[in-house]
Structure 1
C-alpha cells in the first residue's frame, strides 16, 4: 500500500496510466482507477488538437486531480485497515506464544521419553518374533533321507544328439533367411533401388535426385551448394547427350501418377538451366490439376487455356517472368477448361509452340500423369525429350510397364527416366566429395543391407 501511495504521488508529475489489475478485489479502487486512466487517455487524445492552456485540458486536469485525491484517500483508508488487522494478528500471535511457553518443560521431556520407549519396545518384540520363526524354519528343513547306492551314468548324454541339433540349426539358418528374403521381395510393390528399375524396363536413367528434407521447392535457387543442386547439375549435363541440336529445345515431364515430383523437378531443372545463362520457359500444361504456378507463387488468372480459346490474347500476354531468376519464365495453365484434352489439341497450340521456340532456349512442359490420362501423349509430338519421373517408395513396380511399353512401341521419342526422392542408403549410392574410392568397396555391403531391409 505504501508503494501504491508513492506511485500515485509520482503520477501527479508525469500523469502515467495506472495498471488497474494490481487490486482487482477492491471494486471501488478499480472503478476509481478506470476513471483516472480514462481521463488520462482523454487528455492525451485532446492534446493532439489542443494545448495545455486550453480550457478543456484544464478542466480535464482538474478532474484528474480530484480523482487522484480520491484514489489516495482510498489507498490510505485501506492501508489503515490493513495496519489494524496486522496489529490484531500480532496480538493473537503473542497470546498463543505465551500459552505455549507456559507448558512445563519437565512434562514435555517426559512425553518425549515415553514415546521413544514405546517405539523401541514394539521394535524389540518384532525382532524377537522373527528370530523364533527363523529358528523353527531351520529345524524343519533337516532331511531324513539317506543315500543307499549312489547313481551311475555315462559320460555322453543320451539326448539330445549334438550332431542332429547342429544339422537342424544349420538347415534352419539357411532356409529361414532365404524364405524371409523371398517374402520381403514379394511384398515390396514399390520402387526401392536402381535394380528394380533396370529389371522392369530398358528405358535409360538420365538423372537421380535425392530426398529433400526441407519443404522448399526451389532447392537450386535457395541451396545452390547442396547435394540435390549438384544432382540437378548432373541431370543438366546428361540432357546434352539427348538434345544435341539447337532446334531441340522442348522437354516434356510426366509420370505414372500424381505426387511423384514432376513440378518439383520442372522448377529446379528450369532453374539450373537458367543459371547456365539459358532462357528457359516453364509451361504448366496440367489442365486438370495444375500445381506449378501455385508452388512458384504466380497468379493463374490468364494462361494457356486463355490463348487457345480467345484469339485476342497474345503470346506476350501469357508469358510471366519469375523473380527467382531473370532467365526463367512461366506460362500458367489459366482457368481450368471443361475439355482439357481438346484444349491441348487446339489449332492454336502448334503455332504457340513455334513462337515460343524462337524466343527461348529451353521449354519445359509439365504434363499430367501418363499412367492415368492421355494428355501427355498428346503433347509428346512437340517434345524432343520426355522425362518420366519415378519416385522411390511411391511409384509401383507394375506402373513401370507403362513406360516400358511406350519405349518399346516407340510411341514417345527420346524417353528417359528421372528417379526422384531417393534415399541413398536404400538406393545404393553415396553422394559427396571424397567417397568415390570407397563406393566399390562398399557396394557389396550395401547390397547385403538392402536385401535384409
Structure 2
C-alpha cells in the first residue's frame, strides 16, 4: 500500500504564513476589484463635488497685549508683549467662550439677516432649510457662530488668527466682526470691574497679613525669652564648672550657684511649655523635632531643646521680616491709589480686520477627486486582502502540500474549456501544448512510484464535482497507451459518466454496471479506442439505481484481478469522494489513489474530508494533481454538500470537467 499521509494540524486549516508574493498574487488575481474601487471612488468624489455648495472663509488677525506699570518709572506706561504660551492659550480660549458668541448673535449684524444658515449638500432627498436671524434665539445662533469660527495661535508670537467659514461670504466676514466686537466689550467690562476687585483683594490681604504679623511677634517674644534663659543657663553652667574645680561640694558659693542653675532650668522648661502650647502649628513642629530624642536623659533632652529654640527663633525672625515687607507694599499701593495701573483699557489690537472672501476655499475639485480615488484604492486593497485571508481554497502548490501533507505529483495549467468532450484528449489534439506536457509529467511522476506490477491500478478521484478528474483520467490513460502500455480506462462514475462521450462512443448501453449487476461478458463491454491501439475503455454502462451498493459488491474485486492479467495499466474514473461513497470500495482495491484538486475552487474543508474518508477506509492518496495553475475563477461551486437522487446523477455536479 501507499504511504500514509494526513492533513497538517489545525493551524494549516486556518492559514499559513504569508509572504509578499502571496499578497502580490492576491492583488493581481483580483485587480479588477481595485480598479472598480478606484473608479467608483473617483466618480463618488465627482458627484459630491457637484452637490457641495462653495464655502468661503474670512480671516482676521489680532495681537494680544496689556499695559503694566513699570516699577522703575512710576509715571511712565509701557506695553509689555505677552510671550508666555500659557497666557496666549488662555487668550485663545477666552475667545472661544460661549458667552462671546451669544453676545455676538445679539448684535445688529444678524438682526434682520436672511438665509443665515449655511447651505447643505444638494442631494435629491435633502431639503434646504432657510432661517432668518430673527427666527433663531441668541443662544442657538451663538452655537452656530461658534461652529463657524476657529481660533489659531501663531507659535512664538502674540498673534491670534481667527477664521470664519460660511457658504455666504458676507456672513463669514460679519461673523468675525461680531465676535471681535463682543470680545472687546467683554474685555472692557472686565477692566472696569478690576479696580474694585483689586482694592477688596488688597484690603483682605492686608488684614490677614496684619493678623499674621501679630501672631508672629507674640510667638517670637516667647522664643526670645527662652533664648535669654538659655544664655543665662550657659553662664550659670560655666560658673558652676569653674567653682567645682576650686571648691569642695559643700562650699556655700558652689551650693548657691547650683541652686541658681536649677531655678534657671525650671524657668526655661516653663517658658518652653508655653511655646509648645501657643498654637497647633508649634506643637506639631516640636513633636516632630523631638520625636528622635524620646528616652534620652533629661540633661541631653534639655540641651537639644535649647538648640532647636535657637534655630526656630531665627526662622520666625525671617518670616516676620518677609511678612512686614509684603504688608508695607500693600499699604504703599493703597496710599498711592493706583491699584489697577497694571491693567490695560484694551486687551488686544486688531492687526488685520475681517476680510471679504473673493473666492471659495472649498470644495477643491482636484483634492476631492484625489482623496476619494485614494480612499477607493485603499478600500479596494483592503477588500482584496480580506478576501485573500478569508479564501477557503488553496492557490499554490506549496499551499496544497503544506495543508494536505501529500506531495503534488503534477500541476496542470488552466486553459479554455473545449467546445465538446471529444476534444478533451490533449495528446491527440495538440501533443506540444502545455496541458499535454503536464499530462506527460503526471505520467512520469506516477511511473516512478513503482513498477507496472506494483502500480497497475490507479483511481482518479476528487473531493467535489468540477475538479477535472474525468479529464485527468482520460488523458492519463491515453498517455500510458502512447508509451506502449496496454491500458484500460474504466468509467466508474455511474452517476455522471462522461468517458463514452470523450472517446466518441456516446452513452453505450453496456458497461461496468452491466458486468457487476448482470454478469455481462467483458468482451461485450470492452471497447478499443480509436486514438491508440493500446487504449481500451469500459463505459459506465446501464443506469443503476444504487451505484454505491453495486460497486461495494463481491464482483468488483475478481473483476479487477482478472483485468490486471490482461492490461499493464488500469485507470479508473470515479465519483467525487465527499458527496457520495461510490469511490470508497474501489479505493480499497486499487494500488494507487490520485486526488485531483482544482486550485482556487476546491474548499479546504472538502479536501481534508476527502483525505480523511480515504484514510478511514485504509486507503491513502499517493499524490495530488493541482489542476488549474495559475489560479483561475471557475464555475465550480464552492460548497460541497449536495443532495442526490437515488441512483441518478448527483445534484450540483458541475459540467465543466475538462
Normalised to the residue count of structure 1, the TM-score between the two structures is 0.52
- Name the CA shift for 1:339/1:180 in 2 (closer, same or farther; >3 Å): closer
Partner of 2:497: 290
Q: Deviations over 1:287-313 (max 9, x none)?
A: 2221221222214211111112223x2
Query: CA–CA distance in 1 between the matches of 2:392 and 2:552?
Result: 36
Structure 2 residue 391 is the aligned partner of structure 1 residue 183: no
Show CA shifts across 1:199-227 (max 9, x none): 42102111111112250311111110111
Per-residue deviation, residues 230-272 of structure 1 (Å, max 9, x unmatched): 1111111111232335243000011111111111101111111
Residue 303 of structure 1 corresponds to 511
**Gap change, CA 1:399 and 1:319, over 3 Å in 2:** same
Unaligned 5+ residue runs, structure 2?
1-349, 354-374, 634-658
**In the TM superposition, what whole-angstrom CA distance separates every residue of 1:120-167 from its partner, at most 9, and x where no partner exists?**
xxxxxxxxxxxxxxxxxxxxxxxxxxxxx9969xxxxxxxxxxxxxxx
Q: For each residue in 1:291-342, what CA deviation from the matched residue of structure 2 results, as whole angstroms up to 9, or x when unmatched?
A: 221222214211111112223x211111000101111110011111111112
Q: Which residue number corresponds to residue 556 of structure 2? A: 349
Which of 585, 595, 613 aligns to 1:378? It is 585
Distance 1:184 1:243, change over 3 A: same
Tell me which moved more, 343-352 or 241-250.
Answer: 241-250
Q: CA deviation at 1:349?
A: 1.6
Structure-2 separation of matches of 1:177 and 1:258: 32
Count of residues paired in the alignment: 262
Paired with 2:428 and 2:570, the residues of 1 have a C-alpha distance of 19
Partner Cα separation in structure 2 for residue 348 and residue 410 of structure 1: 19
1:236 aligns with 2:443: yes
8 Å contact 1:387–1:417 — kept in the other structure? yes
1:275 is matched with which residue?
Answer: 482
Determine the C-alpha separation between the residues in 1 that align with 2:614 and 2:403. 12
Find the counterpart in structure 2 of residue 196 from structure 1: 399
Of 545, 548, 571, the residue aligned with 1:364 is 571
Q: Do residues 334 (structure 1) and 537 (structure 2) align?
A: no
* Structure exhibiting the larger radius of gyration computed from Cα positions: 2
Tell me the distance in 1 between the aligned counterparts of 2:632 and 2:538: 38
Rounded to whole Å, the distance in 1 between the matches of 2:524 and 2:614 is: 37
More helix by share: 1
TM-score normalized with structure 2 length = 0.37
Matched, 1:415 2:618: no
Deviation at 1:181, TM superposition (A): 6.2
Higher mean C-alpha deviation, range 413-422 or range 398-407 = 398-407
Residue 209 of structure 1: aligned partner: 412
How far off its partner does 1:198 sit? Answer: 2.8
**Residue of structure 1 equivalent to 2:607:** 400
CA shift digits 1:14-56 (9 cap, x unpaired): xxxxxxxxxxxxxxxxxxxxxxxxxxxxxxxxxxxxxxxxxxx
In structure 2, the partner of 1:126 is none
Residue range with higher mean Cα deviation, 285-294 or 224-233: 285-294
2:521 aligned with 1:318, yes or no? Answer: no
| 2-structure distance, mates of 1:334, 1:410 | 26
Task: From the superposition, tell whether residues 187 and 322 of structure 1 become closer, same or farther in structure 2 (CA, over 3 Å).
Answer: same
